[in-house]
Structure 1
Amino acid sequence: MRVIDNKEENRFETDIDGHKAVIAYSVQPGILSLNHTEVPDALSGQGVASEMTEKVLLQIELRGLKVVPVCPFIKKYIDKHPEWKSIIAEKSNKKKPSQE
């Protein structure tokens, strides 16, 4: 599976048999928030989302970036594959409003 980063559309994409699967993201300095994973019905149940997520996380790690897993699928994937927890961005603004 070849996964490309379509920076113009802020999404990673793969094309399988004419069907496009995507992982949409938003950019912050040094961080990619992975917001949504979409796999066409024709590719459902074939492990496309898992394989794509693995490749996307690898690209993020190789770029020296951190990730915020907003998408529930990606959150579950990282929970099942704890080796990726090292690239999760730390939460910022840990202060509670009452502490300000």
Structure 2
Amino acid sequence: MDAADIEVVRNDETHRYELTVGGVLAGFTEFIVDAHGRLVFPHTVVDPAFRGRGLAGIVVERAMTDVAERGETVVPRCPVVVKYLREYDVPGLTIDWPDGV
């Protein structure tokens, strides 16, 4: 798998950031826009055929970078997103940590 084969795009119609490998949908991280306009991230999925390649981290990394560039706020609920945000700083990202996370 070449890094050039990996693409992550925001799909506002499906409310998720989609990761493709060689043009094939390999995974995504979902978001819900709450009443305050924040992006709540409840779930990240990687197709079993693509697991073990670090793709969950890649889709979350690129999603968080894009959200920061857009000036939006993240509410992390997905364990993958929570873990990523606890381990890495995303410049310019505003995070509203939910209670109990």
Unaligned ranges ≥5, structure 1? 92-100
Tell me, in whole angstroms, the C-alpha distance in 2 between the residues paired with 1:26 and 1:71: 12
Q: Is the 8 A contact 1:19 1:42 kept in 2?
A: no
Q: Residue 8 of structure 2 corresponds to which residue in structure 1? A: 3
Residue 89 of structure 1, CA deviation: 2.0
CA distance, structure 1, for counterparts of residue 13 and residue 25 of structure 2: 20
**Which residue identity lines up with residue 7 of structure 1 in the other structure?**
D
Amino acid of the residue matched to residue 8 of structure 1? Answer: E
Listed as ranges, the gaps of 5+ residues in structure 2 are: 1-5
How many pairs does the alignment contain? 91
TM-score, normalised via structure 2 length: 0.79
More helix, by proportion: 1
Q: Percent identity at matched positions? A: 29
1:72 alignment partner in structure 2: 79
Higher Rg? 1
List structure 1 segments (4+ residues) > 3 angstroms apart after TM superposition: none
Where does residue 52 of structure 1 map in the other structure? 59
- Counterpart Cα distance in 2 of 1:19 and 1:61: 24
Q: Which structure's residues are more often strand, by fraction?
A: 2
